[in-house]
Amino acid sequence: MTKMPEMLFIVGAGRSGTNLLSRMLEHAGGFSDLSENRYIWNYQQRHRATDRRLPDEASDAVSAYIHRHFAKMSETHAGILIDKTPGNALRLNFVTQIFPEAKIVNIVRDGRANVLSRSALWDEEGLLNDGNRPGMLTRYIRRIRRMRGLGNLPNDRIPAFLADNLPALASRIFLGRMTLSGERVAGLREIEQRHGARIARAVQWREVATFAAIEGRALGPDRYHEVRFETLLRNPRKTAEELFDFLGHDGGDRSATWLEDKLDPGRLDNWKQRDPAEIAEIEPYLAPALAYFDYEMAPRTVPDSVTAHTQKYT
């Protein structure tokens, strides 16, 4: 029987701080970040339009395949293995069915900051719409090489990767169309087509954040721990102490020192300086989840045209 390594799953909507959290843990010692393993977790998943998977999909064959992958990774990576596949936020019960002893850390960031950060990364920097075909192909090839180098795209999963990514790449190159990235929420493409990318990203954050929190909190405090991105930046030492207490690890002080030297809490509120119309457009779709996570929503004065625009979707 394959010996299972000790696993830690970091989940959270993309652009919420999962990379920062994993780097912080590695800095403490005793952890190895395996990055994202999407094409391991969707093994034998028939419908890949969504990352959602239920526990009964963890068949013997699926569980054995996933176990073998992480057991192999443990041969070249020491300590507790960190998986931070974004889509796992939508399938925590599936993940814990396969790794019933593993712990889950969910990092939550204000949805408004999250959506605007995604937009800044993919739209304003022109990564999807710069019209530079060689540049797009270069990034695509670089991504494959990185995944291969990390070991999270085995030979037998290359066809699934190509089936997922070639249509989107062709759309970008030949049609100049922006495509969404990150966690695959059911119906997200249709929302994007009808209402635009920003609203689609708002729905994406809302679904990912709430699915992870609802299913994670049901696991109990011994298995699940929630980190607030804003608290991590404002009070890294307290956040590190609570996290490492949950993990039963003594590296909290080293991680906190590293975080304090690295972080700039002043950047936290940068999203509030964005165009109020952008925030007003997405906030109605985020509101239920923002309230669920106790984020404040200050009254805003916006043009009547923006109010009319948002009301037609509600």
- Report the share of the chain in percent with pLDDT over 70: 86
- Tell which wins on pLDDT, 122 or 267: 267
Determine contact, residues 147/34, Cβ cutoff 8 Å.
no
Strands of 31-33's sheet in order across:
31-33, 80-83, 7-11, 103-108, 224-228
Round to whole Å and give the CA distance between 101 and 103: 7
Residue 129 has pLDDT above 70, yes or no: no
The DSSP secondary structure of 134-179, one letter per residue, reads: HHHHHHHHHHHHHHHHHT-S-GGGHHHHHHHHHHHHHIIIII----
Question: Radius of gyration (Cα) for the chain, nearest Å?
Answer: 20
**Residue range 182-241, pLDDT digits in tens:** 899 999 989 998 999 899 999 999 999 999 999 999 999 999 999 999 999 999 999 999
Determine contact, residues 139/33, Cβ cutoff 8 Å.
no
The tally of CA atoms less than 13 A away on the side-chain side of residue 109 is 26
Round to whole Å and give the CA distance between 94 and 58: 6
Residue 280 has pLDDT above 60, yes or no: yes
Q: What is the pLDDT of residue 229?
A: 95
Q: What angle do CA 35, 178, 187 make, to 5 degrees?
A: 75
Q: What is the pLDDT of residue 168?
A: 72
Q: What's the predicted TM-score (pTM) here?
A: 0.88
Average pLDDT of the segment spanning 152-168:
88
Round to whole Å and give the CA distance between 38 and 3: 22
Round to whole Å and give the CA distance between 55 and 250: 33
Token pair for residue 83?
A: 């998986």
Give me the chain's average pLDDT, please.
87
Round to whole Å and give the CA distance between 99 and 62: 12
Question: Dihedral (C-alpha) 216, 220, 221, 226: value to the nearest 10 degrees?
Answer: 10
Q: 185 in helix, strand or coil?
A: coil
Q: What is the pLDDT of residue 173?
A: 66
Token pair for residue 96?
A: 């814990």
Question: Dihedral (C-alpha) 266, 261, 239, 246: value to the nearest 10 degrees?
Answer: 150
Query: Distances from the Cα of 314 to the Cαs of 112, 119, 285, in angstroms?
Result: 18, 22, 8
> Given phi > 0 = left and psi -120 to 50 = alpha, else beta, which region is 44?
left
